[in-house]
Amino acid sequence: MQADLKADRLWRNARLATMVPGASPLGVIEPGAIAARGGRIVWVGPDRDLPGELAGVETIDCAGRWITPGLIDCHTHLVFAGDRSDEFERRLAGESYADIAHSGGGIAATVRATRAATEDELVAAALPRLGALLAEGVTTVEIKSGYGLETEAELRQLRAAGRLAQIRPVEVARTYLGAHAVPPGGNRAAYLREVCEEVIPRVAAQRLAEAVDAFHETIAFTAEETAAVFESARRHDLRVKLHADQLKDNGGAALAARFAALSADHLEYTNEEGAAALGSAGTVAVLLPGAYYVLKEQQRPPVEAFRRHGVPMAVATDLNPGTSPIASLRLCAHMACTFFGLTVPEAFLGMTRHAAQALGRLGSVGTLEPGKWCDLAIWDVEHLAQVIAWIGPAPLHARVWRGK
């Protein structure tokens, strides 16, 4: 043990689910302890092995509670204006997602409201939604643009997302999703040129996002159009993510793998070859059971194929105003287990280690290891399964962000 080990805070008498690969699926240590300094973890291990030089540090007695890494919601559309609750009624009456989109609803409806909103209004509208995630132990959240579909509105969304991290104790990963849909009444080719030649360079230059996403689907963008967006992202040193294979199998997973995407998301219709491609590329499969539930889908993601091919699986809310109006990552983990057949350990990894991997941030968050940020969720439960099994208020005892 290093002689100069120092810490400013210590959590003891805890049951740790470190999420570090090993003999235990969740890297369990009990009883365990965590020491932090300057917001980062400096020591993790069995309580009995705690170095003597940490004995006088400010100590929190966890009284046997469970500690996991802070949860990570790796796919949200959290910044938007307007409301689309009417679409809930339209779907109940039998209209499909595609029908609503073709009639001017769906993404287009949110675009109109978002374009009309100021940056301050976007921030104010997003704060309650963000607050709901934080109350469940979320410490890192991804936020996409995609509801502006014009340069200034898209940049305004990304700036609003960045401001949320200045107002609340949370890490925000921003993703540019200009290729979400063709703007209402817009010229398809001209808009794609705007995305590739104007917006992506500005996003990169102003550091407004770290990744670029696209909606590759029959009602959105083709493989060739998506590839053009990804080539532009690559030229400007931005990573890519993809909405893939949600409504049909159109090769989205293989396309994401070809560009070494951080993640491919939805994936209900992904085939065996697509799953194998994701596994070979190290691309994370992000499961979004909220949209599956709201849209009353019947096709489930090929979880068994993902297991066979070693594809890491993350779980996220897809929080958005139309197809997944859900601000509960725990509920989505519950749905992933109930609808898609994930195990409880898989669901926890999907909200921690694999979610961090889907954001390209596994080096700093997602597991309890020295050197990583001290982002913790401390749970007042006897069994970790209670965090996912129960629907309702989170059994969260404390949320720690950057060691505080």
pLDDT at residue 2 greater than cutoff 70:
no
Domains of the chain plus CATH, in order, are 9-69+367-400 (2.30.40.10), 71-358 (3.20.20.140)
Residue closest to 14 by CA, chosen among 379, 399, 369: 379
* Type of residue numbered 241: K
H or E, element range at 281: helix 272-281
Give 368's contacts (C-beta < 8 A, 6+ positions apart): 16, 17, 18, 19, 20, 27, 34, 41, 44, 67, 68, 69, 376
CB 70 within 8 A of CB 139: yes
Quickly state the pLDDT bin for 276 (edges 50, 70, 90): very high
The region that residue 363 occupies, defined by phi over 0 for left and psi between -120 and 50 for alpha, beta otherwise, is: alpha
Supply the DSSP string of 122-144, one letter for each residue. Answer: HHHHHHHHHHHHHTTTEEEEEEE
Calpha distance 42→4 (Å, rounded):
11
pLDDT of residue 100: 85
CB 151 within 8 A of CB 194: yes
Calpha distance 35→60 (Å, rounded):
10
Q: Give Cα separations from 157 to 64, 126, 152 (angstroms).
A: 42, 11, 9
Q: Is-cis flag, bond preceding 31, omega within 30?
A: yes
Over residues 11-19, the mean pLDDT reads 98
Q: Report residue 395 as tokens.
A: 């059994």
Which DSSP letter does residue 297 get? Answer: -
H or E, element range at 349: helix 344-351
Count of beta carbons in the 10 Å neighbourhood of residue 285? 31
Which residues face 263 on adjacent strands? 241, 284
pLDDT of residue 112: 93
Calpha distance 96→105 (Å, rounded):
11
pLDDT at residue 101 greater than cutoff 90:
no
pLDDT of residue 53: 87
* Residues 126, 267, 264, 345, CA torsion sign: positive
Residue closest to 314 by CA, chosen among 277, 274, 278, 273: 278
Quickly state the pLDDT bin for 102 (edges 50, 70, 90): confident
Calpha distance 400→43 (Å, rounded):
16
Residue found by looking up tokens 């983990």 in the block? 333
pLDDT of residue 35: 97
pLDDT of residue 1: 40
Count of beta carbons in the 10 Å neighbourhood of residue 134? 18
**Phi, psi angles (nearest 5°) of residue 319:** -50, 115
Q: 33-48 pLDDT, tens per residue? A: 999 999 999 999 999 9
Residue closest to 17 by CA, chosen among 86, 94, 69, 74: 69
Which DSSP letter does residue 217 get? Answer: S
Q: Which of 81-95, 165-179, 232-246, 336-350 has the lowest mean pLDDT?
A: 81-95
User: What is the CA 181 to chain-centroid distance, rounded?
Assistant: 21
Which DSSP letter does residue 365 get? Answer: S
pLDDT at residue 4 greater than cutoff 80:
no
Calpha distance 34→69 (Å, rounded):
11
Calpha distance 49→357 (Å, rounded):
30
Q: 281-335 pLDDT, tens per residue? A: 999 999 999 999 998 999 999 999 999 999 999 999 999 999 999 999 999 999 9
- Helix or strand or coil: residue 246? coil
Calpha distance 99→181 (Å, rounded):
15
Q: Give Cα separations from 146 to 114, 123, 160, 176 (angstroms).
A: 10, 16, 13, 7
Calpha distance 286→167 (Å, rounded):
28
Quickly state the pLDDT bin for 217 (edges 50, 70, 90): confident
Which residues face 174 on adjacent strands? 143
Calpha distance 222→282 (Å, rounded):
23
Over residues 54-79, the mean pLDDT reads 95
pLDDT at residue 26 greater than cutoff 70:
yes
pLDDT at residue 266 greater than cutoff 90:
yes
